[in-house]
Amino acid sequence: MVYSGDGNLSAIGGNHLIHAARRNIDLKVICVNNLIYAMTGGQTAPTTPGHATTSTNPYGTFEPAFNLPHLVEAAGAVYVARWTTFHVRQLARSISEAFQKKGFSFIEVISPCPTLYQRCNKMGDGLDTMKYYKEKSKVKNGAPTSEVGLTLNGEIAVGRFVDRDRPDYQSMMRAQYVESLGDRYVEMADPEEPEMECVCG
C-alpha cells in the first residue's frame, strides 16, 4: 500500500509510478491530489489545472497538466479510480475493490488545499470545497480515461474507470523461469520461505 501526494507521484516519483504500473507490480497506490505543491509553498505541480493561480504562476498556469488516471492506464494499471474527499463511502469501496485485484491499482483522491490552492484561486475554505466537490462531481464509471482530465472550474469525473486483468509481475517472472529453466526451476512450498528458488546447474 502506497499513500502519496500528486507532486511526489507524478514529478520526482513519476518514473517509479509508470514503471510499477508497466510491470504490474502488486501495489495499491492512493494518490492524494490537491493539485499543487502544498507543503513547500504552493508552487505549480504537474497536476495543476490550466489557468490556476499558484505561487510560481501568479498570472495563471499555462503548462498542460497530467491526467493521472490516463497516465497510469496507459502505463498498464489494472484498476484505476478517482473520487474526492467528499465521496468517503465510494472511496472506501474502491479501496476494497483494489485490494481484490492482483497487480497495480491506482486510486486518485481529489483533496482540498484551503490555505494555498483554494485561497489563491478564490474558491473559499474547506467547507466550500466540499460543497464544490459535491456540485461539480459526476460519476462516470467506465469512462475513457483520456476524457477525465481536470480543469480549473469544470466537471470532476469520478468513478471506477479501469478494471481489467493481466498477469502481475510475480506471475510473469515465474512463467518465464519455468519456460527458460524447465525442470531445473523449483518453487518453494513453505509460505514462510521466499516465494521461489531457482536451481540453475
Q: Tell me, what's the pLDDT at 77? A: 98
Distance CA 16, CA 18 (A): 6
**Same-domain check for residues 148 and 188:** no
Nearest residue to 8 via CA among 30, 28, 26, 25: 30
**Same-domain check for residues 174 and 157:** no
Distance CA 12, CA 40 (A): 14
**Same-domain check for residues 130 and 180:** no
Question: Which residues does residue 37 pair with via DSSP β-bridges, in sequence order?
Answer: 43
CATH number of the domain encompassing residue 46? 3.40.50.970
100-146 pLDDT tens trace: 999 999 999 999 999 999 999 999 999 999 999 999 999 999 999 99
**Same-domain check for residues 123 and 112:** yes
Where are the extended beta strands (E) located within the chain?
2-5, 28-33, 79-84, 105-110, 137-139, 156-163, 185-186, 197-198
**Same-domain check for residues 37 and 95:** yes
Kindly report the pTM of this predicted structure: 0.90
Q: Considering its fold, how many domains does the chain have in total?
A: 2
**Same-domain check for residues 130 and 175:** no
33-86 pLDDT tens trace: 999 999 889 999 999 999 999 999 999 999 999 999 999 999 999 999 999 999
Could you list the residue range(s) of the whole structural domain that residue 179 is in? Answer: 167-201
